[in-house]
Amino acid sequence: MVTRAADPTTEPGDPGGPAGRWNRATVLFILGYFAAGTGTAALAYALGKQAYDISGREFDLGMIGLAEFAPAALLVLVSGSVADRFPRRRVVLGGVLVELLAAVLMVGYVATEPTAVGPLFALALLLGVGRAFVAPAARAMPADLMSAEELPWLVARWTISFQVALVTGPVIAGLLYASDPRLAFSAAAVLYVLSAVCYLVLPATGAQQQQRAEPAPAGGRLHEAFEGLRIIRRQPVLGGAISLDLFAVLFGGAVALLPAIADERLGVGAVGLGWLRAAPGMGAAAMMLLLAVRPLRRHVGVALLSAVAVFGAATVVLGATRSYAVAFVALVVLAAADALSVFIRVTLVPLSTPTQARGRVLAVENVFIGASNELGAFESGVTGQWLGPGLAVALGGIATLGVAATWSRLFPALRQVDRFPEQALATPPLS
């Protein structure tokens, strides 16, 4: 079936809008996101490896996760409003430049052959500031570039590019780190430069141009900033989908402990750890390729809850095994399940959110995602220090299974979602 090119000026959610396929805007968006995602994945590997090499403490792996998460939480009332009131491609560009600065400073610090992890925490905090602004703006952009009908088409390919980034980033960083740690951080900096160039030349969409023309909100800036929270509270599908991700990955954040698992339980070095960090990207990419070929059309809510349950079960296996092969397969499976849940959430949340409030809603969601990833990494680091990495990961997987069962009862509206909305909301509901 041949699809038509999307008109960048078509208002998202217009059911009469043209079907989408590759054009300048979608190519630059995905390439820029891929480059930044690869750089971030490489930095995540290098930061964790460097911190663990210096101190040998699982707790420090958790502290890096906490430092990356804190800005998203502290800036949530600012980052979402910025993403709604300024051209989103420019907001993403500014955030990527902050991430680039963090990577460059990391190169300089690692060149001193450091013996203290404190500066790594500070640099992770700076990296988190950039990501706090990138995340809501970038995640709102696909709905600006495509009509609601074609959004799943772009989401599948966009997510594939990000999952491929999760594969290539750790592998590249692992190989370079084994040679010289500075090379791993330098590679991330180069990737951020490429991403910045893509967003610099990305054409504006009609929705982005309208952002600049919006009048000041009647309720004031503070009222505007809290609108994302109010919308999520009023819509059980949104609240259920976003909070499900928070608690599921909060307890199942096994990836943060991979340096300790690789060293203490599996007995592999930097290259082996790099492939372990790449395994989730492989599983997720495979799932997204499957979704691109056979899109999910029915039983969306049940598929979301089932994916979280599979994620928890695979996490239990990862924590229990001492076999490198079994651990690798468990990471592939849990990531494939996570990719399915991410695909559903990334498609469902923007289409269930008013166009003018997407940045604010997605900024709140970014805090939940950050809590599930970075704060989950902190939780894993603390429990890993107390219980050991294997037991901490296994217990987290069991807790995730409990979350999937509980959310199925707490949010029946989410469980009963059959199809994605056919068009996006055009205006916010009355406050």
Question: What is the model's pLDDT at position 156?
Answer: 81
Q: What is the DSSP letter of 214?
A: P
Q: pLDDT tens track of the chain, all 431 residues?
A: 333 333 333 333 333 333 447 888 999 999 999 999 999 989 988 998 899 889 888 788 778 878 887 888 888 878 888 988 889 999 999 999 999 999 999 999 999 988 899 999 999 999 999 999 998 899 889 888 887 778 888 888 887 888 788 778 888 998 999 899 999 999 999 999 999 999 999 987 655 444 444 444 545 555 565 777 788 888 888 889 888 877 876 776 677 788 888 888 888 887 888 888 788 878 887 898 898 888 888 899 999 999 999 999 999 999 999 999 999 999 999 989 988 998 898 888 888 887 777 788 888 877 776 656 656 666 677 777 788 888 888 988 999 999 999 999 999 999 999 988 865 544 444 33
Residue 357's contacts (CB-CB under 8 Å, 6 or more residues apart) are 84, 227, 228, 231, 428
Maximum pairwise Cα distance, the chain: 60
Residue whose tokens read 């480059």: 35
CB atoms within 10 A of CB 28: 18
Rounded (10°) CA dihedral 161, 173, 97, 64: 110
Round to whole Å and give the CA distance between 276 and 32.
25
Cα separation, 423 vs 147, whole angstroms: 8
Burial class of residue 83, CB neighbours in 10 A (0-12, 13-18, 19+): buried
DSSP string, 176-211: HHHH-HHHHHHHHHHHHHHHHHHHHHPPPPHHHHHH
Q: Distance between CA atoms of 85 and 171, rounded to whole angstroms?
A: 38
Q: Provide the b/e sequence for 386-400 (b: ≥16 CB within 10 Å).
A: eebbbebbbbbbebb
pLDDT of residue 205: 61
**CA 53/CA 56 separation, integer angstroms:** 6
- Least Cα distance to 145 among 20, 278, 304 occurs for 20
Query: Please, are residues 76 and 133 in contact by the beta-carbon 8 Å criterion?
Result: no
Q: What is the pTM of this model?
A: 0.69
At residue 137's C-alpha, the angle toward residues 131 and 141, to 5°, is: 135
pLDDT of res. 428: 43
What's the pLDDT at 102?
96
H or E element at residue 72: helix 58-74
**Residue 167: its pLDDT value, please?**
77
Residue 5: strand, helix, or coil: coil
| Range 1-27 burial, b when 16+ CB lie within 10 A, else e | eeeeebbbebbbbbeebbebbeeebbe
* Separation CA 208–CA 202 (nearest Å): 12
> Quick one: angle between helices 181-201 and 24-55, nearest 10?
160
Dist. CA 397–CA 408, nearest whole Å? 17
Domain ranges (residues) in the chain: 24-206+222-415
| Rounded Cα gap, residues 18 and 26, in angstroms | 14
State the sign of the Cα–Cα–Cα–Cα dihedral 29, 32, 38, 40: negative
Residue 419: helix, strand or coil by DSSP? coil
49 closest CA partner among 150, 162, 185, 140: 185
| Token pair belonging to 293 | 């070929």
pLDDT at 62: 74
Query: 24-206+222-415 architecture in CATH?
Result: Up-down Bundle (1.20)
